[in-house]
Amino acid sequence: MNKTAFVFPGQGSQSVGMGKDLFERYSGTTDVLSAADEFLGFNIRDLCLNGPEERLNQTRNTQLAMFVVNHIAGCMLKEKSVSPGLVLGHSLGEYNAIVTAGVLGFSDALRLVQIRADLMQKAASVSPGKMIAVLGLDSDIAEKVATGNGTYIANYNCPGQVVLSGEEAKIGLTARALEKAGAKRVVELNVSGAFHSPIMQPAAEEFSKHLDMVAFEDAEIPVISNFTGYVSMDKDEIKNALKQQMTGSVRWQTSVGTALSQGVNEFVEAGSGKVLSGLIKRITADNEKVMILSVNDY
């Protein structure tokens, strides 16, 4: 019997036109979009479908759009009687995971995502930074190079792929050092700040106050945290992990490994694109029993 995990993508999976098929297929789309529009004060469907790209890629807009599309994807899967035995999400996607697990309601989570996105965009404007994806280099070597150049590992995505964050000048030096160390490619990401690094500390401290103002519930199904990479159903553990997430590394490879150790053999990417599917394929390359699906397969 298959044990299914829903995996929810985060910032970087967005594209103009995202959600179109989901909006047409899920019966509750109108209710979800109307609730989001009323709270946000703008048309989230129009942003997803028509952009423009420059607006959609602004952190405060990207995170809201991704959260809403992910939520509709998760709801549609449940409507089709696809039930997860475990949930996890990449960075922002973790908020969809905890909504799916019953830790927060949609409205509370949407409000937190809006605050999170605004704080992250503000922090990026005050302390500009960059992020780079490093391909084809062992994570231990990448860590040493990053530390030696005053930068940070933001994401442990899969074997041979990590993402680094840091100040603009230091990231440039680090990129050159990584190439000398043997990286196959170093790619600058289209983001406005050094996310998942200590540079986000002021934003994280402010966001922590907002998290404490929201009532969390114990999870109805297990949740894997980005920060720890481990399973929890305890509301306080889940909240505390979210407090650490903004400055801590996304331990995606560890998180997927934890899901496998919990008996998961089917991953369904619930959202836009197939970024997470690609990472999971790399992580589970030697496991022929694992199935990797997207919401569009249902």
Condensed to tens digits (0 to 9), the pLDDT of residues 3-14 reads: 999 999 999 899
pTM above 0.85, yes or no: yes
Q: What is the pLDDT of residues 77-112, one digit of tens each?
A: 999 999 999 999 999 999 999 999 999 999 999 999
d(CA 138, CA 160): 6
* Amino acid at residue number 80: K
Q: Which CATH architecture has domain 4-125+197-297?
A: 3-Layer(aba) Sandwich (3.40)
CATH of domain 129-188: 3.30.70.250
- 132-187, pLDDT tens digit by residue? 999 999 999 999 999 999 999 999 999 999 999 999 999 999 999 999 999 999 99
What is the Cα–Cα distance from 228 to 182, expressed in whole angstroms?
29
Q: Is the pLDDT of residue 191 over 90?
A: no
Q: Is 195 in contact with 120 (CB distance < 8 Å)?
A: yes
Is 91 a catalytic site residue? Answer: yes
pLDDT of residue 192: 79
Mean pLDDT, range 41-52, rounded to an integer: 97
Catalytic residue among 13, 71, 90, 91: 91
Catalytic residue among 13, 139, 196, 249: 196
Angle between helices 275-283 and 252-261 (to 10 degrees): 60
What are the sequence ranges of the domains in the chain? 4-125+197-297, 129-188
